[in-house]
Amino acid sequence: MKRLGDVGIHPKSKHGQNFLIDLNLLEMIAETAQLEPTDVVLEVGTGTGSLTALVAPQVAEVVTVEVDPQMHQLASEELIERENVSLRLHDALAGKHQIDPGLLEELAAKLAVDPRRKLKLVANLPYHIATPLISNLLLCPLVPVSMTVTIQKELAERICAAPSTRDYSALSVWVQCQCDARIVRAMAPSVFWPRPKVDSAIVHISLVPERRAVVGDLSAFHRFVRTVFLQRRKFLRSALVNAFKESLTKPQIDEILGKLGFHESCRAEELPWQDLLRLSNALQEAAGRARP
């Protein structure tokens, strides 16, 4: 990190800047991503460009995004000879619930060059952007075939959690209804500079297209899952009665729960994504019939 000191740049907590300084772990991220010469890689959080420089020789294109002008300038100087690297200075998110449209357009253009190209997210993600970025990438049409990222260990555990466990959440359901996810490596604060106050982890998320196709209306299921997990300890029936109060009566909801074999005292946190999808589809269908 001597280079940062030499140019008078200091990490900014508002941008979640914690730089991974262990080269072996950077190499592990790249290796886990299983990079191929036809890949288009999206990196969010360019930082000093260390991971970018490691990834670029292995792939067709890298589109890397940095929100900090000073870090962007530093990375631009470090990566100036990498002709297949596109550096963007802006936020990857256009608000909390949308990927920046300009970023998606650039990625789409690079993917269109060759039908063999595939999009992969490979990044040491700033902590504050990890959840919205992963969630929104799974919602947009331009979904990566894999995401290999460093994130908070607590978040990694939520993504990979099983039903009826402490960490099982709306995010668990949302990722697992489309992907396989695994924790590759837990990381102590000592491998970052400056040291964060929490442990981190490398997580690898692989898209399962057949599973994603089964979900169908991704936006509707995303809304449904977020709704039923708003109060995760609450009985599922109560959450549904409140969510569908404008379109379904309590007896109608009870009938649907009974037909699907759900006990009235069950909770969302107990159900795998497949059961939640069955329930969502049945309720959406019944609500559609009830509309004038």
For 261-289, how does the pLDDT look when each residue is reduced to its tens digit (9 = 90+)?
998 789 999 999 999 999 999 999 999 87
The CATH code of the domain at 2-215 is 3.40.50.150
DSSP assignment string, 46-111: -TTSHHHHHHGGGSSEEEEEES-HHHHHHHHHHTTT-TTEEEEES-SBSSTT-B-HHHHHHHHHHH
What's the rounded mean pLDDT across residues 125-152? 96
What's the rounded mean pLDDT across residues 113-118? 98
Q: What is the pLDDT of residue 18?
A: 81
CATH architecture of the domain 232-290 equals Orthogonal Bundle (1.10)
**pLDDT greater than 60 at residue 229:** yes
Q: Select the more confidently predicted residue: 280 or 232.
A: 280
For 60-102, how does the pLDDT look when each residue is reduced to its tens digit (9 = 90+)?
999 999 999 999 999 999 999 999 999 999 999 998 889 999 9
**What Å distances lie between residue 248 and 255, 282, 283, CA to CA?**
11, 12, 8
Q: Residue 249 and residue 242: Cα distance in Å, rounded? A: 10
Torsion of CA 239, 242, 244, 250, to 10 degrees: 90
Q: What is the pLDDT of residue 12?
A: 55
**pLDDT greater than 80 at residue 292:** no
Q: What is the pLDDT of residue 232?
A: 72
Average pLDDT, the chain: 92
Assign residue 127 a region (left: φ > 0; alpha: ψ between -120 and 50; beta: otherwise). alpha
Q: What is the pLDDT of residue 11?
A: 54
What's the rounded mean pLDDT across residues 3-17? 54
Domain boundaries, the chain: 2-215, 232-290
Q: What is the pLDDT of residue 263?
A: 87
Q: What is the pLDDT of residue 288?
A: 83
For 11-50, how does the pLDDT look when each residue is reduced to its tens digit (9 = 90+)?
555 545 688 989 999 999 999 999 999 999 999 999 999 9
What's the rounded mean pLDDT across residues 88-117? 95
Q: What is the pLDDT of residue 13?
A: 55
Q: What is the pLDDT of residue 17?
A: 65
User: pLDDT band for position 10 (50/70/90)?
Assistant: low
What's the pTM? 0.92
Q: What is the pLDDT of residue 9?
A: 55
Torsion of CA 74, 77, 3, 103, to 10 degrees: 40
